[in-house]
Structures are given as C-alpha cells and as structure tokens.
C-alpha cells in the first residue's frame, strides 16, 4: 500500500524576491496549457533520500501552478 507524505505548503510567489516577477509570470504562462496533465512521482520512501527531498520541494510548487 502506498503511503502519503506531507509535502508542506509553498507558493511559487514565495520566490518572487529572488526570481523576479517577470520570471514567475512566464512560468505561470508556460504552465497554463499543461493544467490538464497529471504527473505521478513515485518513490520508495517518503523521507530521507535525495528523490524524496526533491519531491518535498517540487510537489507544492507544481500544485500552486495547478499541475
């Protein structure tokens, strides 16, 4: 059985001070046509390895972009 992992909550806008407003608007624009796409990331462990740690950062950002 698959185990759910808490990935926290972060917004793409949290990175505006380092990325700039224009870059985030471009990212949102690029994400728009992909909103119907579903992505499955499957990992053996919910915490403690490189992939799991990347997913903790990535999943909430993808959710904010409605991917």
* Exposed/middle/buried for residue 15 (C-beta within 10 Å: 0-12, 13-18, 19+): middle
The pLDDT of residue 48 is: 66
The pLDDT of residue 7 is: 65
Per-residue pLDDT reduced to its tens digit, 7-52: 677 899 999 999 999 999 999 999 999 988 887 777 676 666 677 6
Q: pLDDT: is 55 or 28 the higher one?
A: 28
Reading phi first (left if > 0) and then psi (alpha if -120 to 50, else beta), residue 62 is in alpha
The b-or-e profile of 21-46 (16+ CB within 10 A means b, else e) is eeebeeeeeebeeeeeeeeeeeeeee
Residues whose CB is less than 8 angstroms from the CB of residue 56 and which lie 6 or more positions away in sequence, other chains included: 5, 7, 8, 47
């Amino acid at each position: 059985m698959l185990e759910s992992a808490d990935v926290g909550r972060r917004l793409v806008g949290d990175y505006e001070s380092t990325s700039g407003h224009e870059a985030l608007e471009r990212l949102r624009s690029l994400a728009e046509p992909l909103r119907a796409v579903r992505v499955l990331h499957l990992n053996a462990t919910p915490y403690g390895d490189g992939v799991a740690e990347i997913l903790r950062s990535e999943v909430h950002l993808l959710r904010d972009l409605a991917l």
